[in-house]
Amino acid sequence: MTSDEWCAALFDRVTVMTINTKLNVHIAICIIFNSSLVIRNSSLKNMVTQFTPYTDYTEYAPDEMRTRAQAFYAEIRRRRTVRDFSDRPVPRDIIETCLLAAGTAPSGANLQPWQFVVVSDGAIKQQIRDAAEAEERAFYNGRAPEDWLAALAPLGTDENKAFLTTAPYLIAIFAKAYDVLPDGTKVKNYYAAESVGLATGMLITALHQAGLATLTHTPSPMGFLNTVLERPKNERAFILLVVGYPAADAAVPIHAMQKKPLEEIAIFL
């Protein structure tokens, strides 16, 4: 029996901290907690700190780094938020691979507090469109303050969201403020919104890299997504990502192409 297992067997509710010595010896310390303590995982093995050499890293000479950085910038600066989608189907495995890429995003305590719901079913897309357009009608016809509408004017958006039924995929991205264990225990996630934002950015990048267009759609409020997609209370809609090929005649607002120069977005100290 390992020391971890010994602790687990001895106490019903314990936490095990391990001290990783230079000799790589794990010293397990058991602490008896009061009844409010919750163990994240019934297997205490997950609490042991273990390391493995970082062999996947590749270093490039500065010239090659420069070339790679410039090549990536040239690629990503072509990304556009698109609102005119084609209905051409996209192979599902491409979406799956991009989701796997998104799932490698850093997250608070590596708790990966995201849930992606990929919708290709026409009837569900129609339900989402109906509910989103209802919210958007309210938004554009009174709910949105004047200055918000003025900021949106150069984008030419309105309450009509045809892309929600035209595009082959809608990916509803939810953030989980907490997880629920099989026994019903709630376990808090950390930096859930930040983590899901990072994963969403990586998903958009992966999809662009694969040759697909996206739209980060934020019908406001987005609570209807829980109802339509039957998601539990601990999941909060973060964004609705529309994915597909741009329509042959897709156009993008010039305003959206104007990105701030480096001097306006970065300071070097």
Q: Given the rule CB under 6 A, which residues bind ligand IYR?
A: 136, 139, 152, 155, 157, 217-220
Q: For the chain, where are the alpha helices, taking DSSP H only? A: 3-10, 62-76, 92-102, 122-138, 146-152, 163-166, 192-210, 224-228, 254-257, 262-265
Residue 227, helix vs strand vs coil:
helix
Closest CB to ligand IYR among residues 44, 237: 237
Least Cβ distance, residue 214 to ligand IYR (angstroms): 13
CA 163 vs CA 72, 141, 210, 232, 237: distances in Å: 28, 20, 20, 26, 19
Least Cβ distance, residue 48 to ligand IYR (angstroms): 44
Least Cβ distance, residue 83 to ligand IYR (angstroms): 9
Closest CB to ligand IYR among residues 159, 194: 159
Neighbours of 75 (CB within 10 A): 12
* C-alpha of 8 from chain center: 35
Joined together, the tokens standing for residue 161 give 């969201």
Closest CB to ligand IYR among residues 89, 154: 154
Pairing outcome for strands 114-119 and 14-20: unpaired
Closest CB to ligand IYR among residues 15, 157: 157
Pairing outcome for strands 26-32 and 14-20: antiparallel
Least Cβ distance, residue 174 to ligand IYR (angstroms): 17
Closest CB to ligand IYR among residues 94, 152: 152
Q: State which residue has the least CB distance to ligand IYR.
A: 157
In whole angstroms, what is the distance from residue 91 CA to residue 111 CA?
29
Least Cβ distance, residue 55 to ligand IYR (angstroms): 42
